[in-house]
A and B are shown apart, each in its own frame.
Chain A
């Protein structure tokens, strides 16, 4: 029976192991007279290859790293004989591996400030206890026990929080407008979780990862304005979000945090989920409320604003998921804490869904005023394949693009508006040099044409005509006059549409026209798509010098547009060519080109 063991790593993996290190320890132990007390074990790889060779002393479990033959004598005398430790050889986990091991150490994470996403990916969203362990429902308790309803509104107002859904209306002001006649009239609190922008998934992530933060914040809002009933309008395409929210509401009811006499006070609040059927227009507040009422989801003119006459003709406030996710930290930490984060006129943080041509796709939360460059290069990891950044689209189909020349713009509500786009809900789609800006404008316009509810003519017909003009340009039939017609029609749609959908629908077109007019002109005048995207404008050629006449392209061509005989250069008949690109993929000699 030995008193202890020395395990000397002798695995071949790292290339650091010294064949005779274990032998050296045996010699030193013998010389120290410990041969009957300590046994040397030649262990396999420990997996700590960056710091090898490693030696572990048992039963203590002390790990020594980078141990050389000459260190053996020291370890034996200091540790085994004297019972001390050889400090300079001790294994230092952080230094030894040198590698980032957890998310919190990555640049991606460290450049972020997480308020709305504070619990996402941390807690079990199906456990109200874990939410409470992260100070959940403490804000509701504070509001009910220490603050008046007006005090809550004052705090939200002073925090500078603005709506995270689209336009950035001050949240506290919205609550204030709805706060009159508390206790005398029926009021409602609603949450807009009808996230419909292409590429946006912030609200889904909050509902899936931290549903209680929305439930609690809605209860606080209800207390502030004097409502006792709330609805979360969430799209049915988010089954996990719907499930988690349903569980959260159920748990809150079981714990008495929803329902009658919350925290033994007079305040009562009940919450219900309403499923949206996927119509984009139902993200517009008046259409959303009409849909909750069980009617066809169509917008109606404002005023009256929902704060005066909203759901079921009662005063109603509607906030977005991310807005609510900010409320509890504001109540707990105070308005000053929140307003210290962000830029002068836009306080706090914003969550962005990074997508498109970027390395780190995903969700990021950064303080307002962070530049686009920091988001794309530092957090997003830059553009893949070494391509050049061309533009970023924010605000989805209602927003516009930010060109490379404005990459250092600090992102907040006002800056984005001044450069012709908007914050929107936070979708951020990155585009590289291979993206055609006319095609992008067309993509978003196709979306709004599909999603226009059809109630008002400027939107229903106007967006369709606008799309036809863009189609004309991308098919090579455009004229310079069309650019003027686009601007004129766009202005008309913006001014005359009934709701936000139509009023903002031309933005992607106007913004690409503003920053990439040369691309439009190139399509019109030279019938050329610089990015090589618009199919009708592409031509394919075969370089007769490079072509070996292997016939691979001719066999691949589905249109029979490639002529030529074996071992002779082939030729493409551009009349027949459907521009599918099959020939380029098949050619092994790089002879086919696209211009």
Chain B
């Protein structure tokens, strides 16, 4: 099966789906997924800086297995920049009002250390 080729039938579509689910669902793929909202509302709130800071810190810490992904608007525009961290077996954490500094701390404590930073999460902010 070619990686990028033309999808001609249902089996080929299904193959792409199953392969990509490993990326999309950390419970299946066993890899951490970090999602940064980079729609217009996120960008306006400074999400690009947050994304860059996470990318740089992942590189610095050598966390090559963490998938860093851009996504659209999840609807909570007043909480942007929003970063969602999904670790296998640990569920999802939604960080809100992120800054590049907070993002670096998140990488170190949550991704590297395994402890979510409760004070930055959506529940604490509400």
Contact = CB atoms under 8 A, between A and B. Distances in A.
Interface of A: 46-48, 50, 97, 99-106, 108, 112, 117, 119-127, 129-130, 132-135, 137-138, 141, 145, 201, 204-205, 208-210, 238, 240-241, 244, 254-257, 263-264, 359-365, 381
Nearest to B92: A102
Contact of A205 (B5, B39, B122): B39
B109 A208 contact: no
Interface in B1-51: 4-10, 13, 16-21, 23-24, 35, 37-41, 43
B123 A105 contact: yes
Given A134-B24, A137-B13, A208 B39 contact: yes
B70 A124 contact: yes
Given A120-B74, A129-B16, A130-B24, A240 B118 contact: no
Interface in B72-112: 72-79, 82, 84, 91-94, 109
A263 B84 contact: no
Contact of A99 (B40, B76, B92, B123): B123
Given A97-B118, A120-B73, A209-B73, A102 B84 contact: yes
B94 to A, nearest CB: 4
B71 A360 contact: no
B7 A263 contact: yes
B11 to A, nearest CB: 11
B76 A240 contact: no
Contacts of A132: 13, 16-17, 20
B109 A47 contact: yes
B69 interface: yes
Q: What bracket does the count of chain B residues touching chain A fall in?
A: 35 or more
A125 B72 CA distance: 7
26 contacts: A47-B109, A47-B116, A100-B123, A101-B91, A101-B94, A101-B122, A102-B92, A103-B76, A103-B84, A112-B75, A119-B72, A120-B71, A121-B73, A123-B24, A124-B71, A125-B71, A145-B10, A201-B40, A208-B40, A255-B4, A256-B6, A256-B8, A360-B78, A361-B77, A363-B75, A364-B75
A141 B13 contact: yes
B75 A121 contact: yes
A101 B78 contact: no
Given A123-B71, A137-B13, A101 B118 contact: yes
Contacts of B8: 256, 263-264
Contacts of B37: 121
A133 B23 contact: yes
Given A121-B75, A362-B76, A204 B6 contact: no
A417 to B, nearest CB: 26
A102 B93 contact: yes
Contact of A47 (B69, B91, B117): B117
Given A137-B7, A209-B39, 12 more contacts: A47-B115, A101-B94, A102-B91, A121-B73, A129-B20, A130-B23, A130-B24, A145-B10, A240-B38, A254-B4, A264-B8, A362-B77
Interface of A is mostly: loop
Contact of A101 (B4, B24, B93): B93
Interface-central residue, A104, A105, A120, A132, by most chain B CB under 10 Å:
A132
B126 interface: yes
A381 B6 CA distance: 47
A187 to B, nearest CB: 25
Given A102-B94, A361-B78, A133 B21 contact: yes
A204 B78 CA distance: 16
A264 B9 contact: yes
A132 B24 CA distance: 11
A205 B16 CA distance: 25
Contacts of A241: 40
Nearest to B91: A102
B10 A117 contact: no
Nearest to B75: A363
B13 A240 contact: no
Contact of A102 (B43, B77, B122): B122
Contacts of B40: 201, 204, 208, 238, 240-241
B26 to A, nearest CB: 13
B61 interface: no
B95 to A, nearest CB: 9
Contacts of A101: 91-94, 116, 118, 121-123
Given A204-B40, A360-B78, A362-B78, A120 B72 contact: yes
B10 A121 contact: no
A263 B118 contact: no
Contacts of A210: 72
A208 B70 contact: no
Contacts of B70: 124-126
Contacts of B38: 240
Contacts of A46: 115
Contacts of A130: 20, 23-24
Residue of B6, B20, B73, B115 with most partner-chain A CB within 10 A: B73
B61 to A, nearest CB: 18
A409 to B, nearest CB: 23
Contacts of A102: 84, 91-94, 121-122
Nearest to A125: B72
A120 B8 CA distance: 27
A100 B7 contact: no
B9 A208 contact: no
Q: Across chains A and B, which 5 residue pairs bring their CB atoms closest together, nearest first?
A: A209-B72, A121-B74, A100-B123, A256-B6, A133-B20
